């Protein structure tokens, strides 16, 4: 009887030790994304804030130029001013928040590698306490996702998410 109890306790202890090891494992980084908040307008763009200047410096000039050209093909506005940028690791089994601004932020659930490249994502764009849109989509290298958000002043906010 005592030996059975000892075996049971030993098994229990080993199981708990294995689980503790699992918990200590650092989460796997599945991808790194850039979340960029743009102000799109046909009007003259306002003076960039310090945050916008810092954000602009963090992205290679060629990437920014390409992004602005592509935005102009998807939306009717001519000018695209970067307001903020958040670079975020997407962690396996964790939800990630991309928050370049308190005004608009993106919740991302990574759902693993896509069959033909890229990563399956569940996205939720939030404006304060209101979810504006939910989407299941695939984010592929070189193919950003543009989300046309609310109007503001003489233009519109656009959230961009792309693989880094």
Instruction: Return residues touching other proteins (CB under 8 A).
Output: 26-27, 32, 37, 39, 49, 51-52, 54-55, 57-58, 70-71, 73-74, 83-89, 91, 94-95, 97, 99-103, 105, 107, 114-116, 120, 124, 126, 129-139, 142-153, 157
Give the distance from CA 32 to its chain's centroid: 8
Which is closer to other proteins, CB of 45 or CB of 147? 147
- Min dist CB 11 to other proteins, Å, is 28
Q: How far apart are CA 161 and CA 164, in angstroms?
A: 9
Planar angle of CA 44, 82, 59, nearest 5 degrees: 135
Which is closer to other proteins, CB of 9 or CB of 153? 153
Tokens of 148: 């046309």
- Min dist CB 76 to other proteins, Å, is 11
Which is closer to other proteins, CB of 14 or CB of 153? 153
56 touches 64 (CB < 8 A): yes
Please name which of 43, 42, 46 lies closest in space to residue 83, comparing C-alpha atoms: 46
């Amino acid at each position: 009887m005592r030996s059975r109890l000892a075996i049971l306790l030993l098994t229990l202890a080993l199981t708990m030790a294995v689980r503790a090891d699992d918990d200590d494992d650092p989460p796997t980084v599945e991808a790194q994304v850039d979340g960029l908040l743009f102000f799109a307008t046909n009007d003259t763009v306002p003076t960039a804030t310090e945050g916008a200047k810092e954000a602009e410096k963090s992205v290679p000039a060629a990437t920014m130029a390409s992004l602005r050209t592509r935005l102009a093909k998807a939306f009717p506005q001519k000018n695209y001013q970067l307001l903020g940028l958040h670079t975020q690791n997407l962690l396996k089994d964790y939800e990630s928040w991309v928050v370049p601004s308190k005004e608009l932020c993106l919740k991302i659930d990574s759902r693993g590698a896509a069959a033909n490249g890229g990563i399956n994502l569940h996205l939720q764009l939030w404006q304060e306490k209101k979810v504006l849109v939910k989407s299941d989509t695939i984010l592929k290298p070189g193919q950003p996702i543009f989300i046309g958000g609310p109007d503001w002043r003489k233009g519109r906010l656009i959230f961009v998410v792309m693989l880094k």
